[in-house]
Amino acid sequence: MATGPIAVLFRRLIDNQTELFIFNEKSAGYKMAKRDTNILIVKHKDFGWIGTNAITAEITSRPWNVPEAEQSSLFPPEGEWVSKNGHKSYVYEVVHLNALNEAVDAKYETPPVDIFYDNLAAYYHLIFEDFDESVTQQGRQLSNIIHTTWPSLRNQSLAVKVLDVSCGIGTQSIALAALPNYIVSASDISHQAIEQLNNRAAKLKLSIPTSTCDMRVADKCHSPASFDIVMSADNSVPHLKSDADILLALKAMVACIKPGGGVLLTIRDYDKITRGLNQFKPYGVRIENGRRFILYQIWDFERDVNRVTFHIIEEVLETGMTNVLVSRSVYYAISIKKMLQLMYKAGLMGVKVLEDNEGFYQPVLVGTKPE
Ligand SMILES: C[S@@+](CC[C@H](N)C(=O)[O-])C[C@H]1O[C@@H](n2cnc3c(N)ncnc32)[C@H](O)[C@@H]1O
């Protein structure tokens, strides 16, 4: 579909309830994004764009103000629509959505990504069976990767300057800052995650300057051309909702590195991940400070949108008192191939996914800023 919006959202004015319709090639219309419904928005030969029951062919809704002659042949009009079901009628506000992530966010009222990570910040270390051990391991792996990919950095007498633009609670920032010969700066969109990083760094007596910053404007938060390596690990970049946003972030990262320096991303390989709904992703059970934590995610895919619901159950062992945290976010299930293309477009050379990623748990993508 080259020209129409990817989805349309109906908001019922009386109670703000929403229904999402996603473009469906087979019907040349929009299909309600709900299982077991047969409602389509299609262009009718006599009535123009209508909502209809695909089984009974009954008309269920119509635009109120846009006459058929003024309607596009490609997509339903925005504005007021009216539905009729027996003797009941409702008025809707209809809007076009141009990115599926935008559509899914609107439908499921996903909180902004900083809120998702703010909510999780105090628990995030529990994702790892042993956070400190993971930090040590990731530091070793990343440092080997950096030295192998950019050998001149191994030989330079100065410390390697690294900027982590999605540091979270500091898994990789702390890992590298703890090694000799690395100077690390870190930023993230979640200020609560940064707070966690700051506390950990203080305990470990590590100096890591931090700031709250959206990676799409990393070049406005950090000095341009001043880092050897800019990194973003653990599938952070796919939190951005579109190719355009990812390109913006990659260009900002490139602006932060010195000529000859590199960008290092680690992301999931979505081509290898099963699509579908209701996928259970357990992290495990952890015991900490007299509490038991059970952590798991539920993944739902709608085309290339991966909705993630994070559940954390916290039990006070002595009293059995239980607290449940549920937080939602969305990833753009971008392929590695597409990400490499965007890295190239952002001005990086030698973009590739590393064949030998030193055992790092995710594919590692690298590219170098031309001298
Ligand atoms: C999966 S976590 C990984 C954090 C850290 N790298 C780690 O491995 O522990 C993703 C991180 O990306 C951050 N993030 C998402 N979108 C961002 C954006 N637009 N700018 C900066 N950080 C962002 C989140 O706040 C979160 O801390």
pLDDT in tens, 257-280: 999 999 999 999 999 999 999 999
CB neighbour class for 10 (10 Å; exposed up to 12, middle 13-18, buried from 19): buried
CA 219 to ligand 1 center in whole angstroms: 17
- What per-residue confidence (pLDDT) applies to 105? 66
pLDDT in tens, 148-191: 999 999 877 889 999 999 999 999 999 999 999 999 999 999 99
Is the CA virtual torsion 237, 243, 248, 253 positive or negative? positive
Mean pLDDT of 27-44: 85
Kindly list the protein residues whose Cβ atom lies closer than 6 A to any atom of ligand 1.
113-114, 117, 165-169, 171-172, 188-190, 193, 214-216, 233-236, 239-240
User: For the chain, what's the residue count?
Assistant: 371
DSSP result, 268-330: --GGGSPP-S-EEEEEEEEEETTEEEEEEEEEEEETTEEEEEEEEEEEETTT--EEEEEEEEE
Give the best-scoring range by mean pLDDT among 14-28, 57-71, 89-103, 161-175: 161-175
Q: Is residue 102 pLDDT above 70, yes or no?
A: no
User: Would you call 215 helix, strand, or coil by DSSP?
Assistant: helix
CA 185 to ligand 1 center in whole angstroms: 14
Tell me which H or E stretch contains 79: strand 79-85
The DSSP symbol for 110 reads: P
Tokens, residue 90: 């409702």
Q: Which atom of ligand 1 is nearest to the CA of 169?
A: 9
Q: Using CA atoms, how far apart are residues 346 and 140, in angstroms rounded to an integer? A: 28
- What per-residue confidence (pLDDT) applies to 2? 43
Q: Using CA atoms, how far apart are residues 249 and 217, in angstroms rounded to an integer? A: 7
End-to-end CA distance of the chain: 40
Q: Using CA atoms, how far apart are residues 35 and 149, in angstroms rounded to an integer? A: 47
Band the pLDDT of 1: cuts 50, 70, 90.
very low
CA-wise closest residue to 299 among 311, 315, 290:
311
pLDDT in tens, 206-233: 999 999 999 999 999 999 999 999 999 9
* pLDDT greater at residue 37 or residue 44: 44
Cα 54 from chain centroid (whole Å)? 34
Residue 170 and residue 138 in contact, taking contact as beta carbons nearer than 8 Å: no
18-24 and 29-32 strand pairing: antiparallel
CA-wise closest residue to 186 among 233, 144, 141, 146:
233
CA 82 to ligand 1 center in whole angstroms: 42
Q: Which of 166, 208, 241 for mutating ligand 1's site (highest number of atoms within 8 Å of CB)? A: 166
Q: Which of 169, 189, 192 for mutating ligand 1's site (highest number of atoms within 8 Å of CB)? A: 189
Buried-exposed string 178-217: b where 16+ CB fall within 10 A, e elsewhere = beeebbbbbbbbbebbbbbbbebbeeeebebebeebbbbe
* pLDDT greater at residue 177 or residue 9: 177
DSSP result, 325-368: EEEEEEEE---HHHHHHHHHHTT-EEEEE-S--TT-SS-EEEEE
User: Would you call 140 helix, strand, or coil by DSSP?
Assistant: helix
The residue contributing the CA closest to ligand 1 atom 27 is 168
Q: Using CA atoms, how far apart are residues 176 and 184, in angstroms rounded to an integer? A: 7
